[in-house]
Structure 1
C-alpha cells in the first residue's frame, strides 16, 4: 500500500469518527408550578423528533429529579416534544447540537403539565404589582380608541391556555 493511500485511509477513518459520533442530550425540566412534580416525575414521557420529517425516534421518562437523558442521538438538529399535556396544545422545543463533542449538559426546559395562567390573579409575577396590569382579550374584537391602553389584543385563535393579563411596565404576558 502506498504512503498516500495509507494517509487517505487513516483520514477517512478519523473523519468518520468525528462526523458520525453519537451525541448525548441531557436536560432538566423546570416546572412553572413545583406542585406539578407528582404529575411529571417518573410518569411523563419526553420524545425526540426529527426536525425535518417530524417523526419521533426516541423517548425517555423524566426521572424523579426532573432530569432526562437521550444517548446515541444520531442527528444534529432535533425537536424535544412533550405529549400529551393536560390542557390543549403540546409543547415542543427545537434543539441544535453544536460543537465538537455534540453534548448538551445544561439544557433546561420550562414546562407545565397544566395551564400555568391564572384567570383571577392579576398581580405581575415580575414586579409584583397590579398597577400597570391590563386584561388580554381574545377573539374578533373591535377596539374603541378609548380602550387602546386599557386592553391588549391577544389574537383570535385560542387553544384553552392563554395568558389572561399583560403588564405594561414589564412587557409581560401572564
Structure 2
C-alpha cells in the first residue's frame, strides 16, 4: 500500500481493525510512505504528531492501493465558539479581536470595543480577548 500525504513529514500508525496488528511508519521527504505485506481488511491510519493527531483515516485495503490524504493542523481556537473567558468564566470584560490594517484614529476611538492584533492572519487565530485576564481565546 502506497500513500502520499500533502504536507509535512509525519509519524504514522496503521492498525488492522480486526487483528489489531499495528504498523508504524514515517513519511519521507517527498511526503510519501509505504506499508508492506498487509493483508486485506479495514485499517485505521493515524497521524501521531501532536498538532495533527485528530487526523484519523479509515482505509478499506485490498491488493495495491494508492491514495492521497490531506491532513489538517489542529486549531485550538476553532473549538471555542463562545465569548466566555475560559479563565474567569465571564464575558463582561471580553471583546472581539480586530485583525487587519486600520488607522490610529479608529484604534483610539474603539479601544474599549476591540482588542487590536495586527495584519497577519492565519487559519488559526483567536477571536476573543479577555481584558481582565489578558487572554486571547
Q: What TM-score do the two structures reach when normalised by structure 1? A: 0.40
Structure with greater proportional helix content? 1
